Amino acid sequence: KVINPAIELAQKGFPVNYYLSQALGWLNAVAGEYPETVRVFGHNGNPPKPGEIFKQPDLARTLKRIRKYGPD
C-alpha cells in the first residue's frame, strides 16, 4: 500500500538537511499565531538542526487511522 511508507517515515523520521532546517526556522517566525504549527514543525520554537532526525508521531497516528478506517 502507498500509505505504509509514509507511516514508517513519520514514525522513524528522517535526517533534516540544511534547507529544511532553514525553512522550518522561517515557518516558526511567521506562524507565531498558530502554536500548533510551531509545535509540530518547529519543535516548540526551535527548528531541528541539520542532521537531527525529524519525526512526526501525530501524523503517523493519523495515517494509521486512515489506513484502518478509510478516508471518510
What is the pLDDT tens value at each position of the chain, 72 positions in all? 689 999 999 999 999 999 999 998 888 888 878 888 888 887 767 889 999 999 999 999 999 999 999 987
The pLDDT value recorded for residue 44 is 65
Contact 44, 38 (CB under 8 A): yes
DSSP 8-state symbol, 52: S
Number of structural domains found in the chain: 1
The pLDDT value recorded for residue 4 is 97
Distance CA 3, CA 8 (A): 9
Grid coordinates representing 55 are 519525526
Distance CA 1, CA 66 (A): 12
Distance CA 44, CA 47 (A): 8
For 51, the domain range is 3-69
List of residues 6+ apart from 22 with CB closer than 8 A: 47
